[in-house]
Amino acid sequence: MGNTIIIFDTAEELAHYFASLLTSLIRKTKPSGTFSWVLSGGNTPKFIFREIASELKDSIEWKRVRVFWGDERCVGPEDNDSNYKMAKENFLDQVNIPPANIFRICGEAAPAGEAERYSLQYSRNVKQVKGIPRCDLLMLGLGEDGHTASIFPPDVQLFSSDKLFETTLHPETKQRRITATGKIINNAKTVVMLATGESKAARVAQILGNPDGSERLPAARVRPEKGEVIWMLDRPASKKLKSKK
């Protein structure tokens, strides 16, 4: 399936749309089933998490929702760099999601062993389709270098990994990371690619405008075989798109 591109005038509109999408996707799953949601890290999701915590606190059956992370920095859960800490403070602490439904990547653990442990935990707690876990919703961000999750250029080979999670290194900070691979990303039912701010405009235009020329960018490899990709952009991030609305 192709990309759907939605451009929002304000961050509030984007966050509100995301909350409505989450609500409708959860409602579409069977009432007795669980809903697996893979969270993204970085700063962009913060305002979305806050919107969900305030708007959906009482309207979502949180006991059906299981949250995972698409990547984590190899730091402890109290560290300000932790994607888990960011989600906990901006969202998870404000809703009645059972702690057992929060599947944290233990950034404080030895990276290689944690990537293996988490791969197993993920595969045991996400519905499988043809033997591969298929999450219901996967949030991804876009780095200015074209990375997504913690797959950084030129490591596009991670999109053909036979593992679910692998360890990577941030190219500048040399910070060790644990990241979902293409096996998770391209098996998701719905992927939301979030990009806001002018600093992302060039990459957005390159990836959406010139798929052939952006093959070496990890974010350009997000192409779930049987899933949909919804790009949610604010105006500044969309400014270099040719046929923007």
> Out of 36, 82, 90, 150, which residue is the one contacting ligand 6PG (CB under 6 A)?
150
CB of residue 181 vs ligand 6PG: minimum separation in angstroms? 14
Residue 166 CA to residue 31 CA, distance in Å, equals 33
CB of residue 75 vs ligand 6PG: minimum separation in angstroms? 11
Residue 74 CA to residue 60 CA, distance in Å, equals 31
Tell whether residue 43 is a contact of ligand 6PG (CB under 6 A): yes
Number of amino acids touching ligand 6PG (CB under 6 A): 14
CB of residue 104 vs ligand 6PG: minimum separation in angstroms? 14
For ligand 6PG, the closer CB: 29 or 241: 241
Residue 9 CA to residue 237 CA, distance in Å, equals 11
What does the angle CA 205 – CA 22 – CA 122 come to, to the nearest 5 degrees? 90
For ligand 6PG, the closer CB: 148 or 214: 148
Tell whether residue 148 is a contact of ligand 6PG (CB under 6 A): yes
Q: Which residues of 201-233 are buried (b: 16+ CB within 10 A; e: fewer)?
A: bebbbbbbeeeeebeebbbbbbbbeebebbbbb
The rounded Cα 75 to chain-centroid distance in angstroms is 19
For ligand 6PG, the closer CB: 41 or 182: 41
Tell whether residue 143 is a contact of ligand 6PG (CB under 6 A): yes
- Chain contacts with ligand 6PG (rule: CB under 6 A): 40-44, 71, 83, 141-143, 147-150
